[in-house]
Amino acid sequence: MRYPKSALKIDWFFISSLLSSYGLGFILANRVNKSVSVWVTLAGVVLLLFPYFFNYFVGGLIRQFNIDSFEVSRMRRAANLKHYIGVFISSFLAAGALYIMLRYHSLQGQAFLWLLGTVICQILLLAKPISYSTLTYQWLIKSFNVAPLAFFLATTLQGFSPAPALIYLASALFLGMAAAMITLSYKRYAGDLNRKERTFLVVIGWEKAITLHHLLFAGSVASMVIYMLVSNSVNTNWPVLAWQVFGLYEVYLLEQLARGVKPNYVLLDALAVFRMLGTLYLLFYALIIH
């Protein structure tokens, strides 16, 4: 079975969203419970990222082993060394993070379940050959990993159970991330179709995916409005709603694509990334200044 080159590329948008969601959950819970050790928080970050980067480095080694030894150049052997070092460092950091969690008795109850969920999701994303069977749903798994998993992992590590308002916020982040992941899939659609890879757009069709994108974006905005009303934070979080104008322009460009207009994939990708990361940043900002 061929190991795809795409699997060796780090998805920095996913990593950034994952860390931002975790950080947002930490700040929200820290406003209630300020007795949590900073070491526990950092250990949570390490354990959150460990499955992704461990699989990334192991995947690089597997791909090198699948190449005929006569074809392996000195550059590829150097890449092998990088992956070995990466596996060692990531494993060492994860062991240290796990020790800190156990020492502070942080991995109990809901926190353990949310962490277990993140590990399972990232195994489904990257571990071969499992990830071949989940290729169609990787956009959904990544979105679910960002929120609610990473978000609630941060809150429950501090002993703060998800309140109704936070559930609406996590729903808004999940739906917004899912819409962004669909948008980012369009630039790869032609290549996926030629390679006969069973990605989401290839399976469902790009027209239906546009409709689903619009529904997800609308659901994200609606959930964010409900969160603001329930948490009584309209006055502080109104810039978050204003920022969704990027999402409206994203919807407009996808509708233009459906009408046969030549797509501007760079602009589409930028809108999806800025909309999602900007939303997380503005939520951060509102919490910090108020």
pLDDT in tens, the chain (290 residues): 444 444 557 889 999 999 999 999 998 888 776 666 788 889 999 999 998 888 888 777 766 555 544 445 555 555 677 778 888 999 999 999 999 998 888 887 889 999 999 988 888 877 666 666 678 889 999 999 999 999 999 999 888 888 899 999 999 999 999 999 999 999 988 888 888 888 899 999 999 999 999 999 999 999 999 999 999 999 999 999 999 999 999 999 999 999 989 889 999 999 999 999 999 999 999 988 87
CA distances to 147, 200, 215, 233 from 134, in Å: 19, 10, 23, 38
Give me the pLDDT at residue 158, please: 82
- Return the HEC string of 159-228: CCCCCHHHHHHHHHHHHHHHHHHHHHHHHHHHHHHHCCCCCHHHHHCHHHHHHHHHHHHHHHHHHHHHHH
Q: Is 161 exposed, middle or buried (0-12, 13-18, 19+ CB in 10 A)?
A: exposed
CA distances to 28, 72, 84, 118, 153 from 174, in Å: 17, 42, 34, 14, 14
Query: How far, in Å, CA of 55 to CA of 16, rounded?
Result: 18
pLDDT tens for residues 236-288?
A: 999 999 999 999 999 999 999 999 898 899 999 999 999 999 999 999 999 88
- List the beta strands (DSSP E) in the chain: none
